[in-house]
Chains A and B, each alone.
Chain A
Amino acid sequence: MGEPPLLEIKDLGKRFPARAGREPPPWVIQGLSFAVRPGEFLTIIGPSGAGKSTLLNMIAQIDTVTAGEIVFDGQAVDAHDPRTLRPGVDRRIGYVTQDDNLLPWRTTIDNVLFPIEVQGRLNDETKAHAEMLVRAVGLAGYERYYPHELSGGMRKRAALIRTLAYDPPMILMDEPFGAVDAQTRMQLQADLLKLWELGRKTIIFVTHDITEAIALGDRALVLSRQPARIAAEHAIPIPRPRNVQDIFALEGFAAIYERIRAAIQ
C-alpha cells in the first residue's frame, strides 16, 4: 500500500451549466473522493443516471470539472476550463466507452490500428502486437470487415483492443459490455481478464451489474444516487486468475454480493 496512487480524485463536483432562463440543474457529482493504485482493477457500481459516465469523462478530460481536483500520476490536472483540457492526458489514459465508436469507414484492423497510426507509431512491432490482440479476442478472419458487418460482441472486442493496442498505463471502461447478451458478455469479461493478466494495467471499470463488478475487480466502489458520492467500498479478495463462468460458486462471492446489494439500497 506504500506506493503513491496513480490517480487521485479529491472532493470532485460536477454540475452542467444552466440553459438560458432556467434554474441551474442540480449537482450530478458532489464531494466525490477516491484513489487508484497502479496496476489495480477498480470497479465502480452505480445506478443508471448516477453520473458514472460523467465521472469517467472528467477523468479522461473530455469534460470539465466544476469543483475539486484530479491528480494523475502525481500532477494536478487543470480541468476547469474547456480550453485547457487535455483529452487522454498525453495518451496515458485510454477510454473504452459504452458505444464502440468504431470508425464506420475503417475495417477492423484499421480501427484497431487507428490510435497507433495517429500517434505515428505504426511499425512492424506495433502491427504484430495489434494482430496478436485481434487473435486473442477471436477476431481473426474478420480483420477486413467493416464495423456494420460485425456482430455487437465483435464490435465491443474491436473497441476494447483498439485501446489496449496502444498500451496506455490507465484505461477507463464505461459499461463496455452493456448492450450484449449474457453469453457474449461473459465471454467478453473472460477475454478482458485474460488480457489484463498479460499486462496488469490500471483499470477503472464502471458498471451497474454487481456480479460483473465482483468478477473483474480487486476493489469495488458503490456510488450513491445523485449527487454521486462514494456510498461504500468493498475489497474483493477472490484469488486470481478467476473463472468468470463459475464465479458464483466461489467462496466469498455470495457474501460480497449481499454486502454490495445492501449498500446500493
Chain B
Amino acid sequence: MTELTAPTIPETPALSRKWVVLGGRVLLAVSLLLAWEIGARSFGTIFFAPPLAVLARIGELAASGKLVQDIAATLRVSALGFVIACFAGVLLPFLLRRSPRVTDAVEPYIMATMGIPKYALAPWLILWFGIGDAPKLVVVVLMVFYIVFITTFAGIRAVDQRLINMARIAGASEMVISREIIWKSLLPFFFTGLKVALPRAVSATIVGEFLVASEGIGHYIEHSRQVSDTVGVFAGIVIATTLVLAINAVVNVIERRALSWRPVEREMEL
C-alpha cells in the first residue's frame, strides 16, 4: 500500500465565495434603490414615490396599528383559501388514482376549467356572494387549487411503481401505500406547487380587495390611488412583497425539514 496523499484542490475558500455573493447582492440592492430614487426625481412624485417617503409611511402605518390590521385582513383570506385549495388539490388526485376510468373522464373538464381566467369571474361572484370575504375566497381557492392539483397529479404519476410493488408484497394496505410511499415521493412536487401558488394566493386576495373591501393591503393600495397618494400605493406594494417573501421563507423552512433526507445542494434552493 502506498501512502495516500491529500489531493491538491486549488484554494478558493468557501468563505470568500460567500462574501462575493453577498457583496453582489448588496450592490444590486443599492443600485435598485438608487434607480428608484432617480425615477422619483425625474418622473415626479405622482408616478414614483421616493423610497424614504415610502419607508416613513410604512412606519406611520405600523405605529397607527393599520399595518397589522391590513395584513391580518389580507392574510385571513389568502390563508383560508390556500388551505382549502391545498386540501382539495391533494385529496382529489389521491381519489382519482384509485380509478383510471374516472380520471380519464374527469381530466378534460379539469383542464378546461383551468383555462377560465379566474379574475373574470369576480363580478359574477360578487353577484352571488356579496361584498364580504366570500368572493375573494373563491378566487383564491380557484387560483391555488389548479396549481396544487396539477403538481400533485404529476407527482403521483412519477411515483416509482417498484416501490409500490415492494410495499404491496410486504403486506401494506392501499392506505399505508398512499401515506408512506406516494405522499412521501410526491412531497418535492407538492412543495414546488406551494411555492408557485403562494404569491398567487396573496395576489388574488389583493386584486379582490381592489374591487370589494373595507380593509386589507389591496384596499389600502386602491384607496391611496383614488386620492392620488402615490406614496401609499408604493407602501402597499412593498408591504405585499414583504408579506409574500416572509411566507415563502416559512415554507422553505418547512420544506427543508420535510425533505431533510434529500441529497441536494443547499444553495440550489429557491
Residues of A within 8 A of B (CB): 60, 62, 87-88, 90-91, 93-95, 97, 99, 101, 103-106, 114-115, 118-119, 146, 148-149, 166
Contact = CB atoms under 8 A, between A and B. Distances in A.
10 contacts: A62-B168, A94-B169, A99-B162, A101-B163, A104-B261, A104-B262, A118-B171, A118-B180, A166-B170, A166-B171
A240 B9 CA distance: 52
B169 A87 contact: yes
B184 interface: yes
Contacts of B181: 103
B211 to A, nearest CB: 44
A4 to B, nearest CB: 24
Interface residues of B, number: 20
B170 A146 contact: no
Contact of A148 (B168, B176, B263): B263
Contacts of A146: 261, 263
A221 B160 CA distance: 32
Which 5 A-B residue pairings sit nearest by Cβ, starting from the closest? Answer: A88-B169, A115-B170, A87-B168, A118-B172, A91-B171
Nearest to A104: B261
Contacts of B259: 105
B242 interface: no
Interface string B228-254: 000000000000000000000000000
Interface string B6-31: 00000000000000000000000000
B171 A115 contact: yes
Nearest to A90: B171
Contacts of A149: 263
Contact of B167 (A94, A97, A118): A118
Nearest to A149: B263
Contacts of B169: 60, 62, 87-88, 93-95
Given A103-B184, A105-B184, A118-B180, A91 B170 contact: yes
Contacts of A95: 166, 169
A114 B162 CA distance: 15
Interface of B: 160, 162-163, 165-173, 176, 180-181, 184, 259, 261-263
A101 B167 CA distance: 10
Contact of A101 (B166, B172, B173): B166
B165 to A, nearest CB: 5
Nearest to A87: B168
B165 A87 contact: yes
B33 to A, nearest CB: 43
Contacts of A60: 169
Nearest to A91: B171
Nearest to B180: A118
A91 B169 CA distance: 7
Contacts of B261: 104-106, 146
A51 B261 CA distance: 36
A167 to B, nearest CB: 12
Contacts of A62: 165, 168-169
Contacts of A148: 263
A106 B259 CA distance: 11
A152 B17 CA distance: 34
Nearest to B166: A101
B162 A88 contact: no
A87 B259 CA distance: 30
Given A101-B166, A148-B263, A118 B173 contact: yes
Nearest to B184: A105
B165 A118 contact: no
Given A103-B181, A118-B176, A148-B263, A97 B171 contact: no
A115 B173 CA distance: 11
B227 to A, nearest CB: 54
B250 to A, nearest CB: 22
Nearest to B167: A118
B176 A97 contact: no
B47 to A, nearest CB: 52
A28 B180 CA distance: 34
Contacts of B263: 146, 148-149
Contacts of A114: 167, 170, 180
Nearest to A98: B162
A137 B56 CA distance: 67
Contacts of B160: 101
A94 B169 CA distance: 7
A149 to B, nearest CB: 8
